[in-house]
Amino acid sequence: MRKKIVAGNWKMNLDYQSGLSLFSEIINMAKDEVIGNQELVVCSPFIHLSSLGQLSKNVTNVNIGAQNIHQAESGAYTGEISAVQVKSVGASHVILGHSERRAYFGETDALLAAKVDIALKHGLTPIFCIGETKEERESGDFFEIIKTQLTDGLFHLSNEAFAAVVLAYEPVWAIGTGLTASPEQAQEVHQFIRQVVAEKYGQEIADNTSILYGGSCNPGNAKDLFAQADIDGGLIGGASLKSRDFIDIAKVFNG
C-alpha cells in the first residue's frame, strides 16, 4: 500500500527564528490533529535543517527534507551542500528536479540522475519533480515531456532503487500563479505517470509508488485532488508557510 504524503516546500522563505516558530506550530498541531497514516515532510532552507532535525526527533509523522543537494560526495563546491551533510542533521528527504531548479539553474535530467543516485546512496528519499510548462501543455506535448523526464532522470535505477523514490507532478503553469489543474486534469497525468512506471518496472512497483500533486494545492482544493485514484498527496508551496493551512491539507487523509 503506497504512502500518503503531504510535503511542504518553504522555498527561499523565512528567517531562522520564523522557520523554527512555524515548524513548532506544525509539530504541535500534527500531534493533536493528524490522526491517519499520512506522512508530513517539511523541506526547509538549509539554515533551518539542523534545528528542525532536533525538534522532530521524537515525532513519528513529521519528517524534514532539503530542497536540493549537490551531486558530488564532497569537495571544492563553494556554496553547495552534500547528501551526507543533509542526512547528518536528521533529514530523510530531498526535493530534486523542481521546476525552479530546472528553469533558473539549468538543471538537466542527466544532472538530476546523478543527484538521485547520491541521495539514494546516503539514505535520502528523493521527491522527484516532473511536469510541463504552459507552452508544453498548450502544444499537447506534455505527455512526452513528462515521459522523457522520467526516463532520463530515473529509469537508470534498479527496481529496488526506484521503489525508494517519491514522484511529484507539478504543472509548471500552476505554480505560484493561482491556477490549479482540475482534479480531472491532475488525475489524467498521474494515471499516465503510473502507467509509464508500470511499463518500466512492473505493475507492483507502479502501484506502490507515491505520486504527489504540486501546483497551488490549498485547503480549498486538496480534498477533491486527493480523492483522485492516483494522487497520493501534495507537494505544497505557499500553503506550507501557514501552519493552519498545511495541517488542514494533511487532515484530508484523516479518513
| Residue 54 in grid coordinates | 532536533
Q: Is 238 annotated as a binding residue?
A: yes
**Taking all residues of the chain, what is their mean pLDDT, rounded to a whole number?**
95
Q: CB–CB of 193/130 below 8 Å?
A: yes
Q: Is 255 annotated as a binding residue?
A: no
Note the pLDDT of residue 172.
Answer: 85
Q: Is 98 a catalytic residue?
A: yes
Q: Is 11 annotated as a binding residue?
A: yes
Residues 216-243 have pLDDT tens digits of 899 999 999 999 999 999 999 999 999 9
Domain locations in the chain?
Answer: 5-254
Note the pLDDT of residue 214.
Answer: 93
Q: Which of 98, 100, 107, 136 is catalytic?
A: 98
- Select the more confidently predicted residue: 56 or 175: 56
Q: Cα dihedral angle (173, 174, 178, 181), rounded to 10 degrees?
A: 120
Q: Is 70 a catalytic residue?
A: no
Given a cut of 90, is residue 18 above it in pLDDT?
A: yes
Note the pLDDT of residue 137.
Answer: 82
Q: Is 182 annotated as a binding residue?
A: no
CA distance 214 to 251: 17
- Could you tell me which CATH number the domain at 5-254 has? 3.20.20.70
Given a cut of 90, is residue 140 above it in pLDDT?
A: no
Q: Which of 70, 132, 170, 190 is catalytic?
A: 170
